[in-house]
Amino acid sequence: MRFRNVAVVLTLVWITLFVAVPYLLVVLFSFLTPNPAGTVTYTFTLESYRQIFSPVFLTVCKSSFTLALGTSALTLLVAYPFAFFLARIPENIRRTLILLMIIPFWTSSLIRTYALIILLKANGIINSFLLSAGWIDEPLGILYTQTAVFIGLVYTLLPFMILPLYASIQKLDMRLIEASRDLGARGWHIFFHIVLPLTMPGIIAGSTMVFLPALGLFYIPDLLGGARSMLMGNFIKDQFLTTGNWPLGSAASVLLTILMFLMLGWYFAVSRRANQGDMKELA
């Protein structure tokens, strides 16, 4: 009895105190009034949400979303064939290759971003190489542009797309593909009607793990995009550490969280269908 109680109480206490309460605070504060002197004034208002839907913020939203969507799309295009080929590699080599793929996943994104800076800056590796090879006359000003931020996001988040995709593709029952070939279906047909629907859960999971961080990782735009780059992550950070407008920052965070729930919901809906649809897809 006592062990059970200790385990349960510890679990409940920690989760309530450090997960549930803080999240609820965010939701709560998004409806309050900012207090320049300190934290918040406990007056109910929808002002923060009105500001969220104002043109100023919507521009920030738009560029963030475009960038995040672009990152998701590109990582998906690069990661899908990668995961597909990897799943076909024989077992013994595959394990080492998977480890090699996981290492960047767990290595500090900050360090990897920093590595990009070395490559991309005006007198960096890439420019030095291109200049000395005579392919360009002037160094490419890649760093401190949205392009650099884009490259940085794709580079950092690629492994986050590969892993869920790989997990999903690996579960694919090769017999389904054989059976459909046996019934006369050709390559593209098999891909669009069988492989793609069944790996949809992996695609959505990967997209979620790329799209949301692409919105929230503020240090990548900060380091690669310079002062000009303002994305959702930077916006939220500013509200808390510069402007001191907690409600506005909370409202933006709530938006981010709602997005996450939508994507999770989409994921669960699709994965249920993919599990049930195994045999039906063949018809």
Per the CB < 8 A criterion, the answer to whether 198 and 167 are in contact is no
Contact segment (CB under 8 A) with other proteins among 58-66, 175-183, 185-193, 237-245 equals 237-245
Per the CB < 8 A criterion, the answer to whether 251 and 46 are in contact is no
Per the CB < 8 A criterion, the answer to whether 89 and 83 are in contact is no
CB closer to other proteins, 200 vs 215: 215
**Binding flag, residue 256, other proteins (CB under 8 A):** yes
CB closer to other proteins, 73 vs 282: 73
- Residue 28's contacts (CB-CB under 8 Å, 6 or more residues apart) are 250
**Binding flag, residue 264, other proteins (CB under 8 A):** yes
CB closer to other proteins, 194 vs 212: 212
Residues 12-31 that bind other proteins (CB under 8 A): 12, 14-15, 18-23, 25-26, 29
CA distance 192 to 133: 43
CB closer to other proteins, 6 vs 46: 6
Decide: residue 50, CB within 10 A, 0-12 exposed, 13-18 middle, 19+ buried. Answer: exposed
**Binding flag, residue 257, other proteins (CB under 8 A):** yes
**Binding flag, residue 85, other proteins (CB under 8 A):** yes
CA quadruple 196, 200, 203, 207: dihedral, nearest 10? 140
Task: Pick one of 164, 207, 249, 251: the residue that binds other proteins (CB under 8 A).
Answer: 249
**Binding flag, residue 56, other proteins (CB under 8 A):** no
